[in-house]
Amino acid sequence: MTYLPQNEGLLQYWLLLLSIVSIGNSVQSYLTTSYTRRVYSAPETTVTPLHARTFGTYTALASIIRLYAAYNITDPVVYQLALWTYVVALGHFYSEWLVFRTARFGEGLVGPLVISMGSVVWMLAQWGEYVR
């Protein structure tokens, strides 16, 4: 029995890696607000334990969808769902930074912006390579 995705290409491994890392982030969000405060770091922003847990819950859900996509990357519905998780994340982080001003551009925000944007671009560019 193999534990890694079995299709060709690197995107499926990227999705797997991010799923694993994100599950860790979700657990951390239930234990402390420290990471969440690094993302939502605007001076007048208060990050509560409830906010951190809500963020962790969304992240866990997105991680599960991305994990399914890593192993079922040729399924168009699963691929689209995974793509949408990154679109929603990208919209969320950009809006918190540019619209609501609860996040500042810095070390806590750069990672999520780069990962979500890069993943959206990569998944759109590779659609025809995976989805059959």
Ranges of H-type helices in 1-132 = 11-31, 34-39, 49-71, 76-98, 107-130
Give the pLDDT confidence score for residue 2 in this predicted structure.
83
Question: Mean pLDDT, to the nearest integer, of 12-33?
Answer: 97
Instruction: Give tens-digit pLDDT for 66-84.
Output: 999 999 999 999 999 999 9
Q: pTM of the full predicted structure?
A: 0.94
Give the pLDDT confidence score for residue 54 in this predicted structure.
97
Measure CA of the first residue to CA of the last residue in the chain; give whole Å: 25
CA angle in degrees (0–180, nearest 5) for 18-24-26:
100
Give the pLDDT confidence score for residue 116 in this predicted structure.
98
Question: Mean pLDDT, to the nearest integer, of 24-35?
Answer: 96
Give the pLDDT confidence score for residue 53 in this predicted structure.
97
Question: Mean pLDDT, to the nearest integer, of 85-110?
Answer: 97
